[in-house]
Amino acid sequence: MGNSIKYGTTASPGTVLKGNVLKDVSGISHGTTKQTGWWATGINPNGYTITLIKSNTGPQFWSPVNDAEVMKFCNKVAVPSPSSTITSIDEALMFLQKSNYIVDYRNSVTRSTTTLDGFPAKLPMDGLSCYLDAQIEESAGTTGKWFDVSGNGLEFSSYGTALSLTNLGGYQGFQFNNSGYFQCNDKYGSVDMGGDCTLVMWVWCVDITERDTIFEKVGNGTSSFRQEIAVTWETSEAFSYYSRRTPNYDHANTSAMTKNAWNMVSIKMSTGRTATSRTGFYSKNGANYTANYNSRSNTALESALNIRV
């Protein structure tokens, strides 16, 4: 089964909007078109698929076999056509990104072949409020921006010295530089790290020589670690995470990350929005969750502000 798409102008949970095309990324809309309203599309398992859909018409698909054919599609087929002849694949993808065409690229060796192109296999979409991925063009392909592609539509802007994209262990990631960060300035309240929540990070670990904050929601009138969440990366290569404040802030940590390797760390917490003790757990690389949380607060937390990565 290919990805399901349909005409639409507003992204709903579990979908990604591109022009007037809604793409199902939750995998729950598969079924006959008559029953679900979704078109089940054909997808090239190793290469590009370009899709166009309009109201009251069937979808159209093109499957260019290589970069040259993508450029040829842009120059000869796309309507409206580019203002000048496209001569590189980067120009072609930038042109298509601003068009009503939606583009898939699949590589069955390195990326999932069972979900929307570029999205990790088995990524749970239900309840996902924010998803940033340096691997996905739609997320990290614009200089100075990092776009949430969960369907929630959050936009992160670059501050400080811009982080550069670099290839580490075969995957693309943003390289920390002790200055730059991305911050979401709008709709950040939709990412509630004060309630029941899970934070998953994929990080390439080097020898950490200075303590830094890797994820936080900016404090509202106080430090971030006293409200919804702040996560710091310690020189022990472990993460510390903090929340709440009264009468004292909560604290927890994870085990150390493995150096010179990609690590997936997941931190989940129960709600801190009541007087009940908050609980916290972490998992490294998909292992069972380990309880680790020193709950010292007996007071519901106050909501924080912007999301920073």
Partner 1 sequence: MDYFCNMDYDVDSGKWWIDAFDNWPSFDTTRTYYDTKEEAYVYYYSIINNTPE
222 in contact with partner 1 (CB under 8 A) = no
Least distance from partner 1 to the Cβ atom of residue 41, Å: 50
Which of 128, 127, 136, 108 is CA-nearest to residue 18? Answer: 136
Least distance from partner 1 to the Cβ atom of residue 188, Å: 22
Stretch that binds partner 1, among 86-94, 153-161, 167-175, 241-249 (CB under 8 A): 241-249
185 in contact with partner 1 (CB under 8 A) = no
**246 contact partners, CB below 8 Å, separation of at least 6:** 297, 298, 299
For residues 84 and 88, what is the distance between their CA atoms, to the nearest angstrom? 12
249 in contact with partner 1 (CB under 8 A) = yes
For residues 251 and 267, what is the distance between their CA atoms, to the nearest angstrom? 13
Q: Whose Cβ is closer to partner 1: residue 106's or residue 308's?
A: 308
What would the DSSP string read from start to end of 17-54? EETTEEEE-SS---S-HHHHS-EE----TTEEEEEE--
For residues 129 and 101, what is the distance between their CA atoms, to the nearest angstrom? 25
258 in contact with partner 1 (CB under 8 A) = no
For residues 155 and 203, what is the distance between their CA atoms, to the nearest angstrom? 21
Least distance from partner 1 to the Cβ atom of residue 256, Å: 9
**Count of Cβ atoms closer than 10 Å to residue 158 Cβ:** 16
DSSP state of 93: H
Cα angle value 90/95/6 (rounded, 5°): 115
CA quadruple 252, 255, 256, 260: dihedral sign: negative
For residues 88 and 96, what is the distance between their CA atoms, to the nearest angstrom? 12
Binding partner 1 by CB under 8 A: which of 248, 260, 285, 290? 248
277 in contact with partner 1 (CB under 8 A) = no
Stretch that binds partner 1, among 124-132, 151-159, 229-237, 260-268 (CB under 8 A): 229-237
Q: Whose Cβ is closer to partner 1: residue 6's or residue 244's?
A: 244
Residue type for position 187 = K
Binding partner 1 by CB under 8 A: which of 165, 296, 300, 303? 296
242 in contact with partner 1 (CB under 8 A) = yes
Stretch that binds partner 1, among 15-23, 119-127, 231-239, 258-266 (CB under 8 A): 231-239
Binding partner 1 by CB under 8 A: which of 236, 274, 276, 290? 236
Binding mask 2-31 for partner 1 (x = CB under 8 A): ------------------------------
223 in contact with partner 1 (CB under 8 A) = yes
220 in contact with partner 1 (CB under 8 A) = no
Least distance from partner 1 to the Cβ atom of residue 235, Å: 6
Dig out the tokens for 295 from the structure.
């709950």
Total of residues contacting partner 1 (CB under 8 A): 14
Residue 79: burial class (beta carbons within 10 Å; 0-12, 13-18, 19+): exposed
Least distance from partner 1 to the Cβ atom of residue 80, Å: 54
Q: Whose Cβ is closer to partner 1: residue 124's or residue 160's?
A: 160
Q: Would you tell me which residues interact with partner 1 (CB under 8 A)?
A: 211, 223, 225, 234-236, 240, 242, 248-249, 251, 294-296
